Amino acid sequence: MNNSDHWQFLIDFDQQHIWHPYSSSPNPIPPIGVKKTQGSLITLADNQEVVDGMSSWWAAIHGYNHPTVMQAMKDQIDQMPHIMFGGLTHEPAIELAKRLIKLTPAGLDKVFFADSGSVSMEVAIKIALQYWISKDRPVKNKMLSIRNGYHGDTFATMAVCDPVNGMHHLFNDVLRKSIFAPAPQMGFDIQSDNSDIEELEAILKDHHHEIAALTLEPIVQGAGGMRFYRPAYLQAVRELCTKYDVLMIADEIATGFGRTGKLFACEWAEITPDIMTIGKALTGGNLTMAAMLCTDEISNTICQGEPGVLMHGPTFMANPLACATAIASIDVLINSPWQDNIANIEQHLKTELSPLSELEGVKDVRVLGAIGVIELERNDLGPQIQAACLENGAWIRPFGKLIYTMPAFNIPAGELLQLTDAVKQAVKTVLEESL
């Protein structure tokens, strides 16, 4: 069988039997086969090499197959790929926890390892609820979230996603009711009238007695609209949570590990949340792993309450292979000139993508750190733009009106230019054809 027939066979099977993210089966647009990866390059089924503009959804921050991370994974496989975490512990978990405690905002000193971002958010919500039960204030059991938020696909997290555009409105009737504040005003460096903060405070004033915690994504709201907002808002949220005795959960699953230009987006506002979740880039995009961190105060309260334990424990908790991978990825990041790399990407994205805002059909172009977003007026052009981009040699995955890219921090300059040229050309061509 030749290569093309072989892949047609595979894709046919995939179409008949396998779910993809947010997909039907079969998919109206079949998935594209991938053979291998190296650095920022993806080799597709037809042997075309394309530049990766997505970092596999924020995760592959060093590109693919980074030699140092690969070696650490191989060494750990030989030593101990997995061991249960109930009653046992191991160096990879301890070494990873050390790094996370050191690198995250001061005061987050307890770590819970989970398998995916959604599960780490489930644990964050659970720990917040259990905190108030332990304090004998069980009426504080509602979540306050802000609109345009995205926190995952499981049941507790669906309930704190944006109730309209959060992909889960189908389930609104069976989800626990959360309270929603308006989204923060858009813009990282805007002068604001702070009306969004006032509206948030009004809600807290009325409802704080029944609110366990506020959840938000610091500085960048990801899947809920790729919206950037100002550090002053985040600072105000921290102050209001303290004032109204509501726990603050910062979801850094997308923003963590440098993506916005700070190691964690909370640093833009110099705040420590009570609870923080991380995932996506934690292992450099090599294995699924996430974590929840919280303060000693929260963990002490729970451990002194009834039943005195945190009621959660995934089977593959703190998987040694995932921990070793995360340690290697974090060390590669910290030992690299990541601030300079991200500043260079930011400058490049601004220079190359900003002129697109002049085009008819483009609503906004925005760049922060190693994230570039082109927001269109129409929400139906994504598939065409993706296809055109691929022809031009780059892989992106548009979402509704949003054409966006977040390349690996170490993407070579030539490949970064290939990526932005491909995106620019694809957006221009498809918009012209659509007029």
Ligand X SMILES: *Cc1c(COP(=O)(O)O)cnc(C)c1O
Strand order in the sheet with 394-395: 34-38, 41-44, 49-52, 394-395
Of 151 and 366, the one with the shorter C-beta distance to ligand X is 151
Shortest Å, Cβ 290 to ligand X: 6
Closest by CA to 253, choosing from 118, 86, 112, 108, is 118
118: phi then psi, degrees, rounded to nearest 5: -55, -45
Find all residues with CB under 8 Å of 174, minimum gap 6, and list them. none
Q: How many CA atoms lie within 13 A of 397 on its CB side?
A: 14
Shortest Å, Cβ 179 to ligand X: 19
Active site amino acids: 22, 150, 251, 280
| Gap between the Cα atoms of 225 and 171, Å rounded | 20
Closest by CA to 372, choosing from 390, 393, 388, 396, is 396
Of 115 and 196, the one with the shorter C-beta distance to ligand X is 115
| Gap between the Cα atoms of 389 and 395, Å rounded | 7
Shortest Å, Cβ 177 to ligand X: 20
Shortest Å, Cβ 59 to ligand X: 9
Q: Which two tokens stand for residue 217?
A: 């994504």
Of 127 and 223, the one with the shorter C-beta distance to ligand X is 223
Could you give the residue ranges of the DSSP H alpha helices within 18-162? 55-58, 67-79, 91-103, 117-134, 155-158
Q: How many CB atoms lie within 10 A of CB 102?
A: 10
Of 150 and 244, the one with the shorter C-beta distance to ligand X is 150
Q: Is 36 helix (H, G, I), strand (E, B) or coil?
A: strand
Return residues touching ligand X (CB under 6 A): 116-118, 121, 150-152, 217, 222-223, 251, 253-254, 279-280
| Gap between the Cα atoms of 326 and 93, Å rounded | 10
Q: How many CB atoms lie within 10 A of CB 233?
A: 23
Of 52 and 115, the one with the shorter C-beta distance to ligand X is 115
| Gap between the Cα atoms of 13 and 140, Å rounded | 49
Query: DSSP letter at 64?
Result: B
Of 130 and 255, the one with the shorter C-beta distance to ligand X is 255
Shortest Å, Cβ 365 to ligand X: 21
DSSP assignments along 220-263, one per residue: EE-TTT-EEB-HHHHHHHHHHHHHTT-EEEEE-TTTTTTTTSSS
Of 244 and 268, the one with the shorter C-beta distance to ligand X is 268
> Which amino acid is located at 304 in the chain?
Q
Of 21 and 308, the one with the shorter C-beta distance to ligand X is 21
Q: Is 185 helix (H, G, I), strand (E, B) or coil?
A: coil
